[in-house]
Amino acid sequence: MRRVLLVHRARPVLRVLRGPQVLKGQPVHRAEQERRVLRALRVRQAVKARQAVKARRAVKARRALRVRRVLKVTPGRRVLRVLLVRRAVPALRVRLVLKAITVLRVLLVRRAGSVSRARLALRASPACRVLKAPPVLRVL
């Protein structure tokens, strides 16, 4: 198998020749030209690939920023930031988790009777150990 680029057309065409076929009457300079065009094609492809990688990275970075922006609003959301950094909660569920946190806060305080008691209860809970104490306590 041999790849041959037909350069003598308006747009270069890559042809695959099977076996020992040779394009008849192809002068030396045409082969040179062919090599040059092939190289240019390869370079162009490489550049495109690099740009694609960059674009993908940019999208990821933007997504991360968006999440951070969502979380910066109140100190209680720092818990979420911890969760997100550890990839425990996907960004899509952020709103749901926030709602859950507010509901939990209300329930906890109601059940404990006061915020300080709720804090103590939280400090003692195993969940607190998993999620680094301070951010969890900031929720309350």
Domain ranges of the chain: 41-139
DSSP-derived 3-state class of residue 41 = helix
Taking the complete model, does pTM exceed 0.75, yes or no? no
Determine the pLDDT at residue 138.
47
Determine the pLDDT at residue 137.
43
DSSP-derived 3-state class of residue 16 = strand
pLDDT along the chain (140 residues), means of 10: 56 57 58 82 90 85 60 49 52 60 68 71 58 45
Euclidean distance between CA atoms 12 and 33, whole angstroms: 11
Euclidean distance between CA atoms 84 and 78, whole angstroms: 10
